[in-house]
Structure 1
Amino acid sequence: MASLAGVAPATRQSGKSRVVGFRWAVDRQLRDALVEWAGDSRLSNAWAADCYRRARQRGHDHPHAVRVLARAWVYVLWRCWHDGVAYDPDQHAGLQWLVGTDGASPEPDQAA
């Protein structure tokens, strides 16, 4: 879903060269919906705000940082769908980790 929506980067590889870049061939309405939702979620969700902030600190511009956040939300959505449960902030490990600490960043694998 992340690739279809264009929130996952596209890797092009040939021989010894490898380029990771923006994914152009996507469902643009889906990308717009996910990116808009992710951008708004950072205003009301501490985990989303932290994920966005860390992406900006890594040097991503706003559109790229919001796509990074959207990709993280896609993983959460996938887990909810796969488990057959509604999203529950009390069960979201990334959010609970952030709320239960002094605000230090989680491990990179856990963040997105």
Structure 2
Amino acid sequence: MTIEIIRGDDEQFELTFTDIDGNAIDLTDGTVFFTVKESLSDDDDDALITKEVTEFANPELGIARLTLLKTETDIAEGRYFYDVQFKDSSGMISSTVRDKFYVKKDVTLRTN
């Protein structure tokens, strides 16, 4: 799923985690990791955006909400890469999505 955002905007995404059969993955006591990088080979320490989500909208139904603040999306216009990983309560890690992350230039700059 390609993500497009406007630079400097607050953004919120709802993510639903399912297994190969389409059944909800219970997120209770797990962690969702969201990372945006300029290059796939960049070190995690060089990532432009990193988020860890441990509180979930509806963990039993596999639903997590990811919020990016305007300070986090205030990065240069361009094409980046992101992924989402889930670590369950036993420590098992699975990458659920990896795709492009586009930041578009904002038109309106005033906020007052």
Common fold: TM-score over 0.5: no
Structure with the larger strand share: 2
**What TM-score, normalized by structure 1, do the two folds share?**
0.23
Q: Which has the higher contact order (CA 8 A, sep 6+)?
A: 2
**What TM-score, normalized by structure 2, do the two folds share?**
0.23
